[in-house]
């Protein structure tokens, strides 16, 4: 197979420019904090060359090229991110660091479909990435850009998944990584990943938002490359989840896409991809992109519902879904823009609603981490409000793998998670999903009795 066009990221058509989302300044390069030097707001990439580009303006040719790459032996073609490189900023191939990220499955969820009354319900499982979360799709691009910039150190503040992903990509790219995480507020699985990939891991006595503040000061003083999602390369890579999803659906968009909202980079990225795909006529209509937050970490929900998106009031966040325990989301304005552009909705869910939804996703043989389960819990609310209709198609974006937070899962199934706090019908529903392990004497009749009892209750 000819790889002249397929094995390199070189592409003049994808010459990307930076633009401030607020004052629209178009700087030639970004500062260390990836904020606009003029007004301090976030930067994003745009692609002025697309308008006149023969390949990119030919939707059928692009789709065929991307499909053809799936048969390639080239590392970049095998990546579910770089396969779509025409829609990404150009990074020379020798700097591209890939773990063959992306390529994640789209599953039908029959049990959850019954629970929600939405028959056409699927999950795009971004937890099936190399470090088991969606972060890898953005990290491959942003870490490659650090490599291109010849940085020795990369750094992030994290609730655990970004740090795991960054540590892996830094190691693969022969760079050092500095992780700032809130002490005692991330899961063991995620902490263990950062250690295993060799990161310098600092557990700060603060929350995620406190870690972000320290990191922003640090990057001004030290030559470290910032890999949080304010880095627009992260957003570009994360766009590919939506592109891959549309390809999996035969370029027929679903009616709804539902994502969890924390720092709000992922919703911004998926929304950006949808808008760009429509502009390039890769899809003919926009799905509604809805964002779900945990009730204890709901600054964006409150911003939209209480202030019409005019301002965001930071808060102290508190939720068992540690991944999204974020009180001052950096990308809220980007997320607001895509929410409005796609006509999506914002919702919040309680801890019990999230835990029930997580057990239901598990019972469909899929599983996910707690933060991802807010999508299903949110869908139930959007059904009740009539925003999602029974005949419509819905895709939930599951952001992290089930094994990321096994403590949560075990506590739920042992009935310890809410220990007496869940009330009424919610408590009964949670109870019906619990599957606590049974400790038995090591004899056959005890096991047969357990099996018979389970059979009677099934
Ligand atoms: N789901 C999971 C599993 C996450 O780890 C995160 C964010 C989100 C959802 C929310 O995505 O921030 O783009 O809105 N985790 C970050 C981290 C903050 O540090 O790992 P978002």
- Give me Rg for the CA atoms of the chain: 22
To test the ligand 1 pocket, which listed residue (324, 344, 369, 408) has its Cβ within 8 A of the most ligand atoms?
A: 324
In which element (H, E) is residue 247 found?
helix 232-248
Question: What is the DSSP code string of 145-166?
Answer: HHHHTT-SEEEEE-SSHHHHHH
According to DSSP, the β-strands at 17-20 and 224-226 are unpaired
Give CA separation, 348 vs 80, 249, 331, in Å: 31, 28, 18
In which element (H, E) is residue 175 found?
none
> How close is the Cα of 132 to the center of ligand 1, in Å?
12
Nearest CA to ligand 1 atom 5: 323
* DSSP 8-state assignment for residue 297: G
Which has the closest alpha carbon to 295: 323, 321, 266, 333?
Answer: 321
Determine the atom of ligand 1 nearest the C-alpha atom of 162: 20
> How close is the Cα of 323 to the center of ligand 1, in Å?
5
| In contact, 98 and 76? CB cutoff 8 Å | yes
Q: Packing angle between helix 370-384 and helix 351-363, nearest 10 degrees? A: 100
Strand boundaries in 298-388, DSSP class E: 346-349
The rounded distance, in Å, linking the Cα atoms of 330 and 209 is 10
The rounded distance, in Å, linking the Cα atoms of 232 and 416 is 41
Pocket of ligand 1 (CB under 6 A): 133, 135, 158-162, 229, 260-267, 323-324, 369, 371-372, 399-400
> How close is the Cα of 61 to the center of ligand 1, in Å?
34
Could you list the pLDDT tens digit for every one of the 458 residues in the chain? 333 344 344 455 668 999 999 999 999 999 999 999 999 999 999 999 998 888 898 999 999 999 999 999 999 999 999 999 999 999 999 999 999 999 999 999 999 999 999 999 999 999 999 999 999 999 999 999 999 999 999 999 999 999 999 999 999 999 999 999 999 999 999 999 999 999 999 999 999 999 999 999 999 999 999 999 999 999 999 999 999 999 999 999 999 999 999 999 999 999 999 999 999 999 999 999 999 999 999 999 999 999 999 999 999 999 999 999 999 999 999 999 999 999 999 999 999 999 999 999 999 999 999 999 999 999 999 999 999 999 999 999 999 999 999 999 999 999 999 987 777 788 889 999 999 999 999 999 999 999 999 999 88
According to DSSP, the β-strands at 153-157 and 121-125 are unpaired
């Amino acid at each position: 197979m000819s790889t002249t066009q397929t094995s390199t990221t070189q592409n003049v058509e994808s010459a990307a420019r930076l633009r401030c989302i607020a004052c629209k300044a178009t700087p030639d390069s970004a500062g260390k904090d990836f904020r606009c030097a003029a007004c301090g707001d976030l930067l994003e990439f745009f692609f002025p060359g697309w308008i006149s580009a023969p390949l990119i303006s030919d939707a059928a040719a692009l789709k065929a090229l991307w499909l053809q790459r799936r048969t390639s032996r080239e590392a970049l073609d095998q990546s579910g991110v770089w396969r779509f490189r025409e829609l990404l900023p150009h990074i020379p191939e020798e700097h591209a660091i890939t773990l063959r990220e992306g390529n994640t499955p789209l599953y039908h969820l029959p049990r959850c479909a019954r629970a929600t009354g939405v028959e056409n319900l699927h999950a795009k499982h971004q937890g099936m990435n190399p470090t088991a979360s969606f972060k890898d799709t953005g990290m491959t691009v942003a870490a490659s850009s650090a490599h291109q910039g010849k940085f020795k150190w990369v750094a992030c503040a994290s609730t655990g998944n970004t740090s795991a992903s960054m540590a892996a990509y830094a190691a693969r790219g022969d760079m050092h990584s500095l992780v700032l995480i809130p002490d005692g507020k991330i899961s063991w699985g995620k902490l263990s990943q950062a250690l295993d990939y060799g990161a310098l891991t600092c557990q700060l006595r603060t929350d995620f938002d406190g870690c972000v503040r320290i990191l922003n000061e640090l990057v001004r003083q030290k030559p470290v490359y910032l890999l949080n999602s304010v880095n627009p390369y992260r957003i570009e890579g994360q766009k590919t989840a939506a592109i891959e999803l549309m390809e999996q659906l035969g370029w027929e968009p679903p009616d709804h896409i539902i994502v969890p909202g924390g720092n709000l980079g992922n919703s911004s990225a998926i929304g950006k991809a949808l808008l760009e795909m429509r502009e390039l006529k890769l899809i003919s209509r926009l799905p509604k992109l809805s964002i779900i937050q945990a009730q204890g970490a709901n600054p964006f929900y409150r911003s939209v519902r209480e202030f019409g998106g005019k301002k965001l009031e930071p808060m102290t966040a508190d939720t068992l879904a540690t991944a999204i325990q974020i009180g001052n989301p950096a990308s809220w304005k980007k997320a607001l823009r895509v929410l409005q552009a796609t006509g999506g909705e914002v919702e919040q869910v309680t801890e019990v609603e999230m835990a029930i939804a997580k057990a239901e996703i598990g019972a469909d043989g899929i599983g996910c981490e707690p933060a991802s389960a807010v999508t299903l819990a949110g869908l139930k609310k959007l059904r009740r409000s009539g925003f999602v209709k029974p005949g419509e198609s819905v895709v939930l974006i599951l952001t992290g793998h089930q094994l990321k937070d096994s403590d949560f899962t075990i506590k739920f199934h042992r009935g310890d998670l809410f220990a007496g706090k869940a009330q009424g019908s919610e408590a009964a529903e949670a109870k019906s999903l619990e599957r606590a392990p049974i400790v038995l004497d090591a004899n056959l009749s005890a096991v047969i009795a357990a099996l018979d009892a389970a059979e009677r209750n099934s």
